[in-house]
């Protein structure tokens, strides 16, 4: 088989093996719900994918914005992509397309159960943008059995645009997962939900339960008392190796829409340009977004970054805050997954005024922990994550079935090609052998001096003999038909 075809098919096998399984394998289509074309689920397990657009991360989740519960077979869902906001109880939908590239949601759409008064103005704030709008009663189902919006949503009509326009591209808004006020009624049947992020931060799962199959043990590494918006107020101490500082009026929260760890200005300056510098990390001045720094040594020799909150400690080892931190070789330079956030900066460094004093732990941190949010005790529990390899977790892009199928096809093609060549291959016995050469003809009788040879013109077969100079001149003519057509100088039988 042509080698180039083998290469092409091998590349195709690798490409297909990276194609993930269908996004909605556990959605209503497989659960035989009345909404056969709905993307929202009723299973309590929601699969999310990191839609990386132009380098910006964010896990999209499917929701149903249709009015009323799914009770009729003729009911049509309003499928929409949204993002989770773990740090607030406010759910946001955007009515203007000029707000951070969100998709436009029209409250007056006949298929949606949205009712509100645009004249009742309210202000809102999220981690990297803020704005104004109005409150509306919106039908929104994240899971038909476990999470439906009972509180009002904010319909944005105006917002700041200090961040990259592609940050929230293709989504309709943010689902607030906090339990403040009426938002506590959004959770149905259970007061617990949890987040699992795979080890490559390509997929994530939202569970409305605590599943210890995703943890390495039954005891959490830390149990953190939080507000109803899942924020940790008033951090006490930050420690980096043998450096420690007492901090005041700083808070901590989690956000799945960034892959970095965001620090306020003063804290970023101390951690990067004072503490880590004491361990040989030299970062260029003015580098505020995931700086690449000079460092000669092993990554595991760098210190932990630890936050002390009450009697609990949140440890961030270098394997988390250094890009490719599991590398054990000696490095010449490293990239820190740390970013400065400030209200006066733009794009990935911008933070709204309501969150300027917050440390934000993005999914670069969350993929190392199985995070459980308990609305009853109002706590967040961090378990050391166990990234499962069984079929219980959604595949991370590798599909063994596709690889096996393509491999079988390649081997079959190779076998068929080789079989055809072998079948068409001529008899290659040594021409100098004393045995007669047979070319799919019956054996010819041996001739004597009394035999009369009569030659009839026939279609000349394709020559298979070597050049004339290579054939012995004393070879008898009866070894092949029409021998003199190819070798006229050979002796002729009388």
* Helical pair 3-17 and 400-424, crossing angle rounded to 10 deg: 170
The answer to whether 465 and 486 have CB atoms below 8 angstroms apart is: yes
Quick one: pLDDT band at residue 424, thresholds 50, 70, 90?
A: low
Q: What are phi and psi of 403, to 5 degrees?
A: -60, -45
pLDDT in tens, 354-397: 999 999 999 999 999 999 999 999 999 999 999 876 444 444 44
- Do 22-189 and 216-384 come out as alike in CATH topology? yes
Average pLDDT score over residue span 83-112: 86
Write the class of the CATH domain 22-189: mainly beta
Residues 6+ apart with CB under 8 A from 370: 194, 195, 196, 211, 214, 215, 382, 383, 384, 385, 386
First to last CA, the chain: 50
User: According to the model, what pLDDT value does residue 29 have?
Assistant: 38
Residue 482 has pLDDT above 60, yes or no: no
Q: How far apart are CA 79 and CA 463, in angstroms?
A: 71
Q: Report DSSP state, residue 273.
A: I
Domain 216-384: what homologous superfamily?
Answer: Acid Proteases (2.40.70.10)
Three-state secondary structure readout of 190-250? CCEEEEEECCCCCEEEEECCCCHHHECCCCCCEEEECCCCCCECCCCEEEECCEEEECCCC
Q: How far apart are CA 464 and CA 446, in angstroms?
A: 22
Residue 68 has pLDDT above 60, yes or no: no
User: According to the model, what pLDDT value does residue 57 have?
Assistant: 73
399 compared with 60, residue with greater pLDDT: 60
171 compared with 16, residue with greater pLDDT: 171
DSSP of 293-324:
EEEEE-GGGSPPEEEEETTEEEEE-HHHHBTT
Residue 52 has pLDDT above 90, yes or no: no
Average pLDDT score over residue span 34-39: 64
Q: Choose the weakest-confidence range: 38-52, 229-243, 400-414, 439-453.
A: 439-453
Helices (H), 18-135: 28-31
Domain ranges of the chain: 1-19+399-419, 22-189, 216-384
pLDDT in tens, 150-170: 989 999 998 887 777 677 888
- pTM listed for this prediction: 0.72
Residue 402 has pLDDT above 90, yes or no: no
């Amino acid at each position: 088989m042509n080698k180039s075809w083998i290469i092409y098919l091998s590349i195709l096998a690798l490409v297909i093996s990276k194609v993930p399984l269908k996004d909605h394998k556990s959605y209503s289509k497989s659960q035989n719900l009345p909404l056969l074309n709905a993307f929202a689920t009723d299973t309590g397990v929601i699969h999310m994918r990191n839609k990386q657009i132009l380098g910006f991360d964010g896990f999209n989740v499917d929701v149903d914005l249709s009015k009323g519960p799914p009770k009729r077979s003729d009911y049509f869902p309003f499928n929409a992509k949204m993002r989770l906001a773990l740090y607030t109880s406010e759910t946001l939908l955007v009515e203007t397309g000029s707000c951070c590239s969100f998709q436009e949601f029209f409250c007056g759409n006949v298929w949606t159960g949205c009712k509100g008064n645009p004249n009742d103005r309210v202000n809102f704030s999220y981690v990297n943008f803020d704005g104004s709008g109005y409150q509306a009663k919106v039908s929104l189902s994240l899971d038909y059995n476990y999470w439906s919006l009972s509180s009002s949503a904010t319909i944005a009509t105006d917002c700041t645009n200090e961040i990259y326009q592609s940050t929230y591209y293709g989504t309709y808004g943010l689902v607030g997962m906090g339990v403040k006020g009426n938002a506590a009624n959004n959770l149905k049947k259970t007061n617990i939900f949890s987040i699992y992020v795979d080890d490559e931060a390509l997929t994530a799962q939202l569970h409305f339960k605590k599943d210890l199959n995703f943890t390495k043990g039954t005891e959490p590494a830390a149990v953190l008392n939080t507000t109803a918006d899942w924020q940790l107020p008033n951090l006490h101490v930050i420690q980096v190796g043998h450096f420690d500082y007492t901090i005041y009026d700083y808070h901590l929260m989690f956000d799945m829409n960034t892959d970095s760890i965001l620090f306020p200005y003063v804290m970023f300056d101390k951690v990067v340009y004072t503490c880590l510098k004491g361990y040989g990390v030299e970062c260029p001045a003015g580098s505020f977004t995931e700086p690449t720094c000079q460092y000669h040594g092993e990554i595991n020799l760098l210190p932990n970054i630890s936050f002390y909150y009450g009697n609990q400690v949140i440890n961030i080892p270098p394997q988390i805050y250094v890009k490719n931190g599991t590398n054990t070789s000696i490095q010449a330079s490293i990239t820190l997954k740390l970013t400065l956030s400030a209200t006066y900066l733009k794009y990935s460094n911008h933070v709204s005024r309501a969150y300027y004093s917050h440390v934000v732990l993005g999914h670069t941190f969350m993929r190392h922990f199985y995070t459980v949010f308990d609305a009853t005790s109002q706590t967040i529990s961090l378990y050391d994550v166990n990234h499962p390899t069984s079929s219980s977790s959604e595949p991370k892009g590798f599909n063994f079935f596709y690889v096996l199928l393509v491999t079988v096809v390649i081997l079959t093609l190779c076998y068929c090609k080789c079989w055809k060549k072998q079948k068409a291959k001529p008899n290659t016995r040594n021409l100098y052998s004393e045995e007669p050469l047979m070319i799919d003809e019956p054996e010819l009788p041996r001739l004597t001096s009394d035999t009369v040879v009569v030659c009839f013109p026939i279609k000349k077969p394709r020559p298979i003999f070597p050049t004339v100079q290579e054939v012995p001149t004393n070879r008898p003519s009866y070894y092949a038909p029409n021998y003199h057509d190819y070798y006229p100088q050979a002796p002729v039988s009388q």
